[in-house]
Amino acid sequence: MTNIAKGIKIIDASLYLREEKTIVIGDLHLGLEDSYVNRGTFLPKQQYNWIHNNILKILESVDVKRIIINGDLKHEFSKINKQEWTDVYKFLNFLSEGYDVEIILGNHDVMMKKILKEQGYNIKDYICFSNIILLHGDVIPEEALNKDMVIIGHEHPSVCIKEGAKVEKYKCFIKGMWRDKVLIVMPSFNPLIEGNDILTGNFLSPFIKKDISDFKLFVVGNKVYNFGKVKNLS
Ligand SMILES: [Mn+2]
């Protein structure tokens, strides 16, 4: 566990908000394998169990009341595939047994929004705690201007790290500024999504400007490593 801000810890690819006893995970992209199969690539269905076991480990490590899914619960953009129908409900039912579950709408969730709402799931465009706004990060809502800290997903940040001749990609958290606010970007919780290399400078989210050299980098390996500023990475 590593502190990324006051009262906010990184645990694996999740964030723990201590005062709110809340775990935040994002970009699960459930149903990813079926979506690949439909495009002709076979992928064994292992991600669900991995996600399930990993969230269990996290929930056992700290005192949790609430779980927030920060967008892209499912993978397909313009439809709902068979695996999504199964995995999304299995996952939400499993979490709902012991915790309050809230879902922030991601750009991949639009097709399911109405259905989840009708079934009583708590689904929102963003969630605020005093000075913090949590949101997916594909659009900037007005409300973000009123807060001191913005926490987003959407970007799937990762970084390539060289070790001798070997280069390996790791998921990472990055922390910097958006306007006069602290911005934290979370990685995808899905093990199959390695993510987008932050050093390429190509970002999806309107919250991230091209130059992130002053951002701080937290790499998620078998533990979390504080790498300092992006510009010091060599
Ligand atoms: Mn995503």
C-alpha 43/C-alpha 37 separation (Å) is 7
Cα of 6 vs centre of ligand 1, distance in Å, is: 26
Q: Which residues pair with 168 in a beta bridge?
A: 161
Q: Which residues contact 166 (CB under 8 A, 6 or more apart)?
A: none
- Residue 207 predicted with pLDDT over 80: yes
Cα dihedral 33, 23, 12, 133 sign: positive
For residue range 138-156, list pLDDT tens digits in order.
Answer: 999 999 999 999 999 999 9
Looking at the chain, the whole-number percentage of residues with pLDDT higher than 70 is: 100
DSSP 30: B
The one-letter amino acid at 100: D
The answer to whether the beta carbons of residues 67 and 131 sit under 8 Å apart is: no
Please tell me the distance between residue 27's alpha carbon and the centre of ligand 1 in angstroms: 4
Q: How far is the CA of 189 from the centre of ligand 1 (A)?
A: 10
Q: What is the pLDDT of residues 67-101, one digit of tens each?
A: 999 999 988 878 888 888 889 999 999 999 999 99
- The answer to whether residue 127 scores a pLDDT higher than 70 is yes
Please check the confidence at residue 203 and state whether its pLDDT lies above 90: yes
- Which residue, 37, 96, 45, 30, is CA-closest to 67? 96
Ligand 1 mean position, distance from CA 35 (Å): 14
- Residue 29 Cα to ligand 1 midpoint, Å, equals 7
Cα–ligand 1 centroid distance for 153 (angstroms):
7
Model pLDDT, residue 55: 96
Q: Could you give the CA distance from residue 157 to residue 188 in angstroms, rounded to a whole number?
A: 8
**CATH architecture for residues 2-232:** 4-Layer Sandwich (3.60)
pLDDT class of 234 with cuts at 50, 70, 90: low
Task: Output the CA–CA distances (angstroms, integers) from residue 161 to 166, 173, 218, in the order listed.
Answer: 8, 14, 12
What mean pLDDT do residues 32-52 have? 82
Is the pLDDT at 48 greater than 80? The verdict is yes
Calculate how far, in angstroms, residue 165's C-alpha sits from the geometric centre of ligand 1. 31
Residue 182 burial (CB < 10 Å; 0-12/13-18/19+)? middle
Q: What's the burial of 160, exposed, middle or buried (CB within 10 Å: 0-12/13-18/19+)?
A: middle
Q: What is the mean pLDDT of residues 183-192?
A: 96
- Sequence ranges of the domains in the chain: 2-232
